[in-house]
């Protein structure tokens, strides 16, 4: 979830670039850096922490006179800047971008992940290239150096051809003081066209104060940017025909922060393909292996692990419930799930053979932290699954598994939930693999499915959104929603019901469908919409019988079903389909229509979905 800003034009650009990075801060980052080219020489400054630290580092470079970033005469009018969210390599100054080649003539900034970095690094090292960071990104600077023969665009195009993964990057070369070259494969890249100046960035807010005229770079394209504009070519070197249309951004600054969406929540719902891709891609770089070598757990402990206990609050608790199914199904380790605010006040029986996992997107939720500490005091090994580097949970835990969803502004968790769910899938597979608990062919098959999940999330959101809005319209005045599911569909119902109540203020209940006949059935009549999660699973027949019981009481059934399954549509009033995948992975898709349903019901009722009443993003009170 890094940020890229580049500038070439007639103005001194150091402060323009840092101001651009400020506009991308919302994406989350742990370090930042800037490179400026002046007088045939590139100076770079990088700093760990927030942009205030980068500003201070730039200022220090000024005073020393050797950083040259501010004192370069004349001041630089071309440069690149970056906010980094660590994936490969720790959070250090060396690993912050921009990254250079061996001769310090090229600098690059990159968003995303280069999957074949290990292989490329080996090749480049054999050819004599020297690396100064642990990142996958630095490879790109050396690849450009390898291919460079006076033509920067050609060198970037050739380097682009060597890469696999999902990324966007921008490069500059000290021999080309008026040119930036950038390329895109699945991570956003936008050119901003000013008057005698041009910007390149990973998101429009970075330059919106300066210009509203943009060119959207598409996948597989390379763009050469000068003060006069931009030339786009495809990966084979052909110019675009016809050339890309210039678009005019009509959003104001506030809308720009929301990426053109009316709310942060909707923007974040749409960011889920990215959030999940960032979380899983480099951990699934091979076809048959989950790489969680970042976890600080000895193989012996993992092999002898007796039990896992998961503690969490709110939405994170629901991600934990899904994780329980995955871990038990694949790794055959017993998993207990507990609400952190309950666990901490019990006398839990827990000890050195147990792994206690605290799931908390913020890493600061007081009850989850307390539950983790209690487990730690009793000798258990404690893992944090969190989205925020440096948060308290990361400091308290013995080991950390990061989700990489970027900063979430909406109070209702959406993209952090799917990223947590993806992280739990990774963990389940990794444990299965580490303990030889499941046949390798099955693990390989799930890995292949999991890799396809980000694009299935994108397809799902696109295909259901209009219908969900229509369904929301027909139910916006209902006074109660019941959610029913079984097995791994149950946590999806719990999450859907939580989303609905927290942002629309309509009472909801979520129930294990098998329990319906023991009470909740009394609630059913013509006025009750019942949301059923009926995606493919070994117990789909059972849920279909429950749907029939609900229909017999006159209630309206809104079902979430798997594409290709027509049995559900036959018994439900309205059916929303999600793409087929392995049944354990279905929840990460099934939850999407439920997030959207809650969202549209709340919006149709005129409510502020980003800031629901009485709720806070992080609950730090004891
Ligand atoms: C608050 C938020 C929820 C979140 C819960 C747990 O209640 O409103 O969206 O799920 O805290 O937060 P955590 O940061 O621990 O995941």
End-to-end Cα, the chain, rounded Å = 31
Rounded to an integer, the average pLDDT of 93-119 is: 94
Per-residue pLDDT, 1:
64
SS3 196: coil
Between 65 and 527, name the one with better pLDDT. 527
Nearest-atom number in ligand 1 for the CA of 416 is: 16
Task: Please report, rounded to a whole number, the percentage of residues in the chain having pLDDT higher than 70.
Answer: 97
Alpha carbon nearest to ligand 1 atom 14, residue = 362
Task: Write down the pLDDT at residue 68.
Answer: 46
Average pLDDT over residues 10-29: 89
Distances (CA, A) of 508 to 208, 485, 575: 41, 14, 20
Tell me how far the alpha carbon of residue 279 lies from the centroid of ligand 1, in angstroms.
Answer: 19
Residue 42 pairs in a beta bridge with 37
Q: Is the CB of 386 under 6 A from ligand 1?
A: no
365 lines ligand 1 (CB under 6 A): yes
* CA-closest residue to ligand 1 atom 3: 314
pLDDT (0 to 100) of residue 260: 85
Distance 363 CA to ligand 1 centre (A): 10
Residue 312 CA to ligand 1 center (angstroms) comes to 9
Give the position, in ligand 1's atom list, of the atom nearest the Cα of 316.
16
> What is the average pLDDT across 498-519?
95
Q: Is the CB of 35 under 6 A from ligand 1?
A: no
pLDDT band at residue 150 using 50, 70 and 90 as cut-offs? very high
The finding on whether 272 has its CB within 6 A of some atom of ligand 1 is no
pLDDT score of 261:
93
pTM surpassing 0.85? no
Residue 88: per-residue pLDDT:
76
Torsion of CA 87, 89, 90, 93, to 10 degrees: -110
**What integer pLDDT is reported at residue 562 of this predicted model?**
97
Phi, psi of 285 (to 5 degrees): -75, -25
CA distances from 291 to 90, 277, 358, 433, 441 (A): 16, 15, 21, 10, 17
In contact, 83 and 2? CB cutoff 8 Å: yes
Residue 74: pLDDT band by 50, 70, 90 thresholds?
A: low
Using DSSP, state whether 39 is helix, strand or coil. coil
618 within ligand 1 shell (Cβ under 6 A)? yes
> Per-residue pLDDT tens for 34-64?
999 999 999 999 999 989 999 999 886 655 5
Look up residue 487 and give its two tokens.
């097995």
- At residue 165, the pLDDT reads 87
Read off the pLDDT of each residue in 509-519 and give the average, rounded to a whole number: 93
The set of catalytic residues is: 2, 617
pLDDT for position 71? 45
Determine if ligand 1 sits within 6 Å of the CB of residue 615: yes
pLDDT 10s digits, 119-131:
999 999 999 999 9
- What's the mean pLDDT in 306-324? 98
**Alpha carbon distances (Å) from 347 to 57, 183, 384, 420, 582:** 49, 56, 21, 27, 38
Ligand 1 center from residue 388 Cα (angstroms): 13
From the CA of 314, how far away is ligand 1's center (Å)?
A: 5
Atom of ligand 1 nearest to the CA of 420: 16
Closest residue (by CA) to atom 7 of ligand 1? 314
The answer, yes or no, to whether residue 269 has pLDDT greater than 80, is: yes
* The pLDDT value given to residue 60: 63
Q: Strand 529-534's sheet: what is its strand order? A: 508-512, 481-485, 529-534, 556-562, 574-578
User: Does residue 480 contact residue 528 with C-beta atoms inside 8 Å?
Assistant: yes
pLDDT at 259: 83
* Span 401-442, pLDDT tens digits: 999 998 888 999 999 999 999 999 999 999 999 999 999 999
Q: Radius of gyration of the chain from Cα atoms? A: 25
Mean pLDDT to the nearest integer, 494-522: 95
Distance CA 305, CA 300 (A): 8
The Cα 317–Cα 338 span in angstroms is 8
pLDDT at 70: 47
Which of 341, 344, 362, 405 has most ligand 1 atoms within 8 Å of its beta carbon, as the pocket-test mutant? 362
Distance CA 12, CA 181 (A): 19
360 lines ligand 1 (CB under 6 A): yes
Q: Which of 323, 361, 384, 614 to mutate to test the pocket of ligand 1 (most atoms within 8 A of CB)?
A: 361
Angstrom distance (rounded) from CA 328 to CA 212: 52
Judge whether residue 69 has pLDDT over 80. Answer: no
Q: Are residues 480 and 449 in contact, defined by beta-carbon separation less than 8 angstroms? A: no
Judged against a pLDDT cut of 80, whether residue 491 lies above it is answered with yes
Question: Ligand 1 center to residue 444 CA distance, Å?
Answer: 33
Does the pLDDT at position 252 exceed 80? no
C-alpha 358/C-alpha 377 separation (Å) is 14
Calculate the alpha carbon distances from 119 to 94, 122, 409, 538 in Å: 21, 5, 37, 41
Per-residue pLDDT averaged across 350-368, rounded? 95
Q: Edge-to-edge strands of the sheet including 381-386?
A: 335-339, 307-312, 354-359, 381-386, 399-402
Which ligand 1 atom is nearest residue 368's CA? 15
**Mean pLDDT across the chain, nearest whole number?**
93
């Amino acid at each position: 979830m890094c940020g890229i800003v580049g500038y070439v034009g007639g103005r001194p650009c150091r402060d323009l670039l840092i101001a651009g990075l400020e506009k991308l801060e919302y994406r989350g980052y742990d370090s930042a850096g800037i490179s400026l080219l002046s007088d045939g020489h590139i100076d770079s400054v990088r700093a760990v922490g927030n942009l205030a630290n980068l500003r201070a580092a730039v200022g220090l470079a000024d005073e020393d006179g050797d950083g040259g970033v501010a004192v370069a005469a004349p001041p630089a009018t071309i440069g690149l800047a970056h906010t980094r969210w660590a994936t490969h390599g720790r959070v250090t100054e060396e690993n912050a971008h921009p990254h250079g080649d061996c001769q310090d003539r090229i600098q690059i900034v990159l968003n995303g992940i280069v999957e074949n970095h290990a292989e490329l690094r080996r090749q480049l090292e054999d050819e004599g290239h020297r690396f100064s960071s642990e990142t996958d990104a630095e490879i790109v600077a050396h690849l450009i150096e390898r291919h460079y023969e006076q033509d920067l665009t050609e060198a970037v195009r050739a380097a682009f051809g060597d890469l696999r993964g999902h990324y966007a990057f921008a490069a500059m070369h000290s021999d080309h003081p008026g040119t930036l070259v950038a390329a895109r494969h699945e991570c956003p890249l936008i050119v901003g066209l000013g008057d005698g100046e041009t910007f390149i960035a990973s998101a429009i807010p970075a330059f919106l104060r300066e210009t509203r005229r943009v060119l959207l770079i598409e996948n597989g394209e390379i763009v050469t940017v000068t003060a006069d504009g931009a030339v786009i070519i495809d990966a084979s070197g052909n110019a675009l025909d016809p050339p890309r249309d210039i678009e005019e951004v009509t959003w104001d600054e506030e809308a720009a922060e929301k990426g053109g969406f009316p709310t942060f929540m909707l923007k974040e719902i749409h960011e889920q393909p990215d959030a999940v891709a960032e979380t899983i891609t480099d951990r699934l770089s091979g076809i048959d292996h989950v790489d969680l070598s970042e976890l600080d757990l000895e193989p012996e402990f993992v092999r002898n692990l007796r039990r896992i206990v998961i503690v969490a609050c709110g939405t994170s608790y629901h991600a934990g419930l899904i994780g329980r199914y995955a871990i038990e199904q694949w790794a055959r380790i017993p998993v207990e799930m507990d609400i952190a605010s309950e666990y901490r006040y019990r006398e839990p029986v827990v000890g050195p053979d147990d792994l206690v996992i605290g799931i908390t997107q913020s890493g600061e939720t007081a009850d989850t932290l307390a539950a983790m500490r209690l487990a730690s005091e009793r000798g258990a090994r404690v893992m944090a699954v969190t989205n925020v580097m440096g948060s308290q949970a990361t400091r308290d835990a013995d080991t950390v598994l990061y989700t990489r969803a970027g900063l979430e502004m909406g109070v209702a968790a959406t993209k952090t939930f799917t990223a947590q769910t993806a992280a739990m899938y990774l963990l389940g597979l990794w444990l299965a693999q580490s303990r030889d608990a499941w046949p390798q062919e099955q693990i390989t098959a799930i890995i292949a499915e999991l890799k396809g999940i980000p694009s299935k999330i994108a397809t799902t959101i696109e295909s259901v959104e209009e219908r969900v809005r229509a369904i929301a319209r027909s139910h916006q005045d209902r006074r109660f929603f019941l959610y029913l599911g079984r097995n791994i569909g149950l946590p999806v119902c719990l999450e859907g019901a939580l989303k609905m109540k927290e942002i629309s203020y309509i009472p909801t209940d979520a129930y294990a469908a098998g329990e319906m006949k023991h009470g909740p059935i009394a609630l059913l009549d013509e006025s009750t919409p019942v949301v059923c999660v009926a995606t493919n699973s070994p117990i789909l027949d059972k849920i279909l019988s429950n749907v029939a019981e609900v229909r017999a009481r006159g209630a309206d059934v809104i079902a979430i079903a798997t594409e290709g399954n027509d049995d559900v549509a036959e018994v439900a009033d309205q059916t929303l389909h999600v793409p087929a995948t392995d049944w354990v992975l279905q929840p990460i898709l099934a939850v999407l229509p439920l997030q959207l349903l809650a969202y549209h019901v709340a919006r149709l009722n005129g409510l502020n979905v980003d800031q629901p009443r009485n709720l806070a993003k992080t609950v730090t009170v004891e």
